[in-house]
Structure 1
Amino acid sequence: MIGRLLKRLVVVLLAALLLVVVFVVVQFNRRPSLAPYQSLTLPTSTDTSAVRVRFAGVTTLVFDDGETAWMTDGFFSRPPVLRTLFGRIGPDPTIVDESLRRLGVRKLAAVIPVHAHYDHAMDAPLVAQRTGALLVGGESMRQIGRGAGLAEAQMRIVKPGETLQLGKFTLRLIASRHSPTPYSSGHGQEPITEPLTPPAHVTRWREGEVWVISVTHTSGRSFLVQGSAGIVPGSLAGVRAETVFLGTGTLGRKDEAYRSAYWAETVKLVGAKRVIPIHWDDFMLPLSEPLQATPWLIDDFDTVMADLQQRGRQDGVEVRMPPLFEPFVP
């Protein structure tokens, strides 16, 4: 009798586990369509005299004024979900080289990951090696560079508030926070304290220092790169940016109060006239395919866009989408 009950219990538990697995798999493949936002995509530009930007998914942006080019993140490898969760990951040189070719990038003055998670920093040392760029960041970024064999002379370690001159660009790196998630509280930082040599498990790329980058150019253009939807109240006081590249990852899972505070601290405070959402795409899918929004299981891009557009209408801020790989004037 007890044996039969145990067998039934095992069968029920296995069935329940199977249902959970099926649910997760199905939900991980359900996502908002990007079709409603295609009309918001900025046109490509051939004006090499203007500051132009190229977008390559997540928070990878190339700023280029025709004389100097520099990049945020430089994440291209985008390993698939099962390998990311259960294996060891590292940069894919073939994918990195092909992505740089598609961007038209041969030489960079700097590559600056906005924090040290793998979807921002994993490929950065290889990008620096390929392009001669300085790898810029904090002590955690130094350990990622060391683990990849990057020379110390090719790394620039900065402190919060420090400025960096790259040709006619002036960059100021301001301490920020990660968007609060089950994996990152948004209040503390997890440093990387020893060289990180890939391939490694995804958890080795801990958060490290988190940056928001204020960018000004001698042409008078000004930008803000807010890579993660975190808030440090008042940290951007005095900063001005006509265009904000706004990290929206997990913003669709935040409540109204958080989204309102994020807009106020990151868009209104700097006097922005245009917002370009970034970090909304599923970075476990390859760049050889069209970008897709993050699955509903993790985020809700429809909610994000409805929220941004409503706030934009109220405050006179234009919300536009970036084309993939193509140069545009932000």
Structure 2
Amino acid sequence: MCAVKFPFSRPGLHANQQPVAAGAEVTAWFLGTSSLLLRDEHTAILSDGFVTRPGLLRTGLGKIAPDEAAVRGAFERLGAPDIAAVMCVHSHYDHALDAPVWAGLTGAELVGSESTANIGRGLGVPEERLRVVGDGDVVTYGGFELTFLESVHSHGDRYPGTVDAPLVPPARSGAWRTGTAYSILISHESGTVLLHASANYRPGMFRGRLADVVYLGVGMLGKQPAEFIESYWDEVVRATGARRVVLVHWDDFFTTLDKPLRPLPFLVDDLDRTMAHLVPLADADGVEVVLPVAWQPADPFASLSGAGAEHE
């Protein structure tokens, strides 16, 4: 049976987190939405780093800007890691708002589309630390090899298009347009992680690409037909042969990170319905499903014997 447990209060649902085993080569920290820090002994890489999380009213009616104090607090809470790269899976504010601040604080490269680069330019990230990537590009940071694969945003993209000039906050949330959406295949000698943040796919995009663990975006998936949910699982999880799925982009990102994460309201998404479809698929395939807990270090490859060996 697959293990599926939840870190919020609903009947029969409890927290589940892969513990950090002694000698783990890679440690993962989940920061809500699709923000994920991966770290080995020498190097750390961060996706998105969205920790400002402005409230619904300000996001909908006002202007938003990064909270530099929140970013610095998150950096210190993580133990001030030596971050080599901050990569944005696309350029909406819930992915790219804080990324330039992380880059400025740590000296990391800011990696993503030209839209992400323009968001970085708006906050003064030097050109030499802006890296624009395309479909299939491979970039290495320490022991992490990152392959960027062009993907598509989930259904209902409210802010399509590109950011065509330096974006200087504060600005309306719609100024952070999608740009290019990426999935990122992250290879390390201890195993391979696929970060697939948007609940959509290009058919066949993972053909020939394997992963031990998928960080799978499920935002808005509960509003999709059952046939789409199964196709999504087939095209991302089954296609990569993953043995563990860690769900991301399920939480209510209009709330702060100083409290336990909670799912988006039912009017916006239906996580229960998503799980009702994903659990039988996972059971049938022998795949473990995990809902991560923010700020708690985890070993993404724990109990996956031989992780990485069959993918070499």
TM-score (norm 1): 0.86
More helix by share: 1
Unaligned runs of 5+ in 1: 1-31
Bigger Rg over Cα? 1
The answer to whether the 8 A contact 1:145-1:195 is kept is: yes
- Structure 2: how far apart are the matches of 1:36 and 1:238? 40
Q: How many residues align?
A: 294
Pair 1:156-2:131 in alignment: yes
> What is residue 270 of structure 1 aligned with on the other side?
240
Alignment of 1:30-45 (within 5 A): 34-35=9-10, 39=14, 41-45=16-20
Cα 1:118–1:250, aligned 2, differ >3 Å: closer, same or farther? Answer: same
**Counterpart position of 1:13:** none
Q: Tell me the equivalent position of 2:166.
A: 195
Instruction: Say whether 1:313 aligns with 2:288.
Output: no
Structure 1 residue 106: deviation in Å?
A: 3.5
What letter matches 1:203 in structure 2? G
Q: Is the 8 A contact 1:275 1:319 kept in 2?
A: yes
Per the TM alignment, residue 34 of structure 1 is displaced from its structure 2 partner at its CA by: 4.3
How much does 1:238 deviate?
Answer: 0.8
2:28: which partner in 1?
53
Which residue, 213, 216, 222 being the options, matches 1:246? 216
2:67 & 2:23 partners in 1: Cα distance? 31
- Equivalences for residues 1-330 of structure 1 within 5 A: 34-35=9-10, 39=14, 41-45=16-20, 47=22, 49-181=24-156, 183=158, 190-219=161-190, 221-330=191-300
Unaligned 5+ segments in structure 2 are 1-6, 301-312
**Using a 3 Å threshold, how does the CA distance of structure 1 residues 36 and 245 change in structure 2: closer, same or farther?**
farther
Q: Contact 1:34 / 1:293 at 8 angstroms: preserved in 2?
A: no
For residue 38 of structure 1, report the CA deviation from its aligned partner: 5.2
Which amino acid counterpart does residue 210 of structure 1 have in structure 2? A
Note the alpha carbon deviations across 1:213-271, whole angstroms, 9 max, x for none.
0111123x011000110110001111100110000000000011110110011100000
Structure 1 counterpart of 2:259, which letter? E
Look up the match of 2:3. Answer: none
Residue 18 of structure 1 aligns with which residue?
A: none
Distance (whole Å) between structure 2 residues aligned to residue 270 and residue 223 of structure 1: 10
Q: Partners in 1 of 2:266 and 2:127 — Cα distance?
A: 42
d(CA) in 2 for partners of 1:106, 1:112? 15
Query: For 1:109, what is the secondary structure of its paired residue?
Result: strand
Shift in Å, 1:46:
5.7
1:26 corresponds in structure 2 to: none
The one-letter code of the counterpart of 1:172 is T
**Using a 3 Å threshold, how does the CA distance of structure 1 residues 120 and 77 change in structure 2: closer, same or farther?**
same
Q: Per-residue deviation at 1:36? A: 5.0
The answer as to whether partners of 2:27 and 2:297 remain within 8 angstroms in 1 is yes
Residue 101 of structure 1 deviates from its aligned partner by 1.6
Query: Aligned partners of 1:110 and 1:35: how far apart in 2?
Result: 37
Deviation at 1:40, TM superposition (A): 5.1
- C-alpha contact 1:40 1:319 (8 A) present in aligned 2: no
Compute the RMSD of aligned alpha carbons.
1.6
